[in-house]
């Protein structure tokens, strides 16, 4: 991601970003319903690709730096960038993170969810709940006059207090007519640091939280990131616009 100024979007541009993100949100809602034991991650990919063809949007990730799929499907200890596969059969107790983005009318949508497959353990459910809540706490900081790292600190302080660790190797980002724009938004850091948040900024905030250590490693496919200790990971993401009235979550139905 290039460093540079944070781009302020017009009301019209935020409207276009909302349209893109609504497609992402609708796709997540559909895929969530499909997640059951016996389904493969490639089943989800094929369904997503078919449904996307009914819209005017194109997949944001497919072809991005050579990534070959519409979806990132990361199971259990996979943190992000997992690749759909016919061999990856979801089973009872798994955690599945789905990251998905589109390009529509020149603007991107980007969001991620983590879903339990069948019946999951209480600790796995707690990891999902804490990761989702850390995102909500981060979104609360998306207000005019706050500082960028207030977002980061909201994620880290909550997740670590709950006994989990925050991935350092991947960060959130600005989003607009480019998928990954400035600024980078870490999920860790001290509050009251970084640029002031201004009306018209749009951020993709995406906490990745691990049950064990925060260290990750990349598998031989060059994409899939896994926890270094093999423990579970969860990932949630929303694209959020800064308005004078507070955060506008573009990727929420």
Average of per-residue pLDDT across 213-217? 98
What contacts 162, CB < 8 A, 6 or more positions away?
126, 130
Q: Which two tokens stand for residue 37?
A: 């034991």
What percentage of the chain reaches a pLDDT higher than 70?
Answer: 99
Mean pLDDT of 148-175: 98
CATH number at residue 48: 3.90.230.10
**250 and 17 in contact (C-beta within 8 Å)?**
yes
Q: Is residue 39 part of a domain?
A: yes
Q: Which of 103, 92, 121, 100 is nearest to 235 (CA)?
A: 100
What is the reported pLDDT for 1?
47
pLDDT tens-digit map of 2-13: 578 999 999 999
Residue 177 has pLDDT above 50, yes or no: yes
pLDDT of residue 152: 98
The token pair at 137 is 């706490």
Q: Per-residue pLDDT averaged across 62-75, rounded? A: 97
Domain of 28 in residue numbering reads as 11-249
Summarised one tens digit per residue, pLDDT across range 108-120 is 999 999 999 999 9
> Do the domain assignments include residue 5?
no
Q: What is the pLDDT of residue 4?
A: 85
Could you tell me if residue 180 is inside a domain? yes
| Total domains in the fold of the chain | 1
246-249 vs 238-243, strand pairing mode: antiparallel
Residue of 172, 180, 237 whose CA lies nearest to 21: 237
pTM for the predicted model, two decimal places: 0.96
Beta-carbon contacts of 23 under 8 Å, excluding residues fewer than 6 positions away, are 52, 55, 57, 102, 104, 109
CA 196 to centroid of chain Cα atoms? 23
The reply to whether 4 falls in a domain is no
pLDDT score of 218 more than 70? yes
Express as a percent the part of the chain with pLDDT over 90.
Answer: 98
Segment 192-214, tens digit of pLDDT: 999 999 999 999 999 999 999 99
Q: Is 33 helix (H, G, I), strand (E, B) or coil?
A: helix
Q: What is the distance, to the nearest Å, from the Cα of residue 91 to the centroid of all Cα atoms in its chain?
A: 23
Kindly state whether residue 2 falls inside one of the protein's structural domains.
Answer: no
Classify strands 71-75 and 95-104 as parallel, antiparallel or unpaired.
Answer: antiparallel
Residue 219: predicted pLDDT: 97
Does 46 reside within a domain?
A: yes
In DSSP terms, 101 is beta-bridged to: 110
């Amino acid at each position: 991601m290039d460093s540079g100024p944070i781009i302020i979007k017009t009301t019209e541009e935020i409207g276009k970003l909302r349209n893109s993100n609504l497609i992402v949100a609708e796709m997540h809602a559909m895929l969530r319903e499909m997640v059951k034991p016996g389904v493969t991650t490639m089943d989800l990919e094929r369904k997503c690709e078919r449904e996307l063809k009914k819209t005017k949007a194109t997949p944001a990730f497919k072809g991005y730096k050579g990534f070959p799929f519409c979806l990132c499907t990361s199971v259990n200890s996979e943190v992000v960038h997992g690749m759909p596969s016919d061999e990856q059969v979801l089973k009872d107790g798994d955690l599945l993170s789905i990251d998905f983005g589109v390009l529509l009318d020149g603007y991107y949508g980007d969001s991620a969810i983590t879903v339990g497959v069948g019946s999951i353990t209480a600790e796995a459910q707690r990891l999902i709940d804490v990761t989702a809540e850390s995102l909500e706490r981060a979104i609360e900081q998306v207000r005019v006059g706050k500082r960028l790292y207030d977002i980061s600190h909201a994620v880290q302080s909550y997740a670590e207090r709950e006994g989990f660790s925050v991935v350092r190797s991947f960060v959130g980002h600005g989003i607009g007519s480019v998928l990954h724009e400035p600024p980078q938004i870490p999920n860790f850091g001290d509050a009251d640091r970084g640029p002031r948040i201004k009306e018209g900024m749009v951020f993709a905030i995406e906490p990745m939280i691990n049950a064990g250590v925060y260290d990750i490693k990349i598998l031989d496919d060059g994409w899939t990131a896994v926890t270094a200790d093999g423990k579970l990971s969860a990932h949630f993401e929303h694209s959020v616009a800064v308005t004078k009235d507070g955060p506008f979550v573009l990727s929420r139905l």
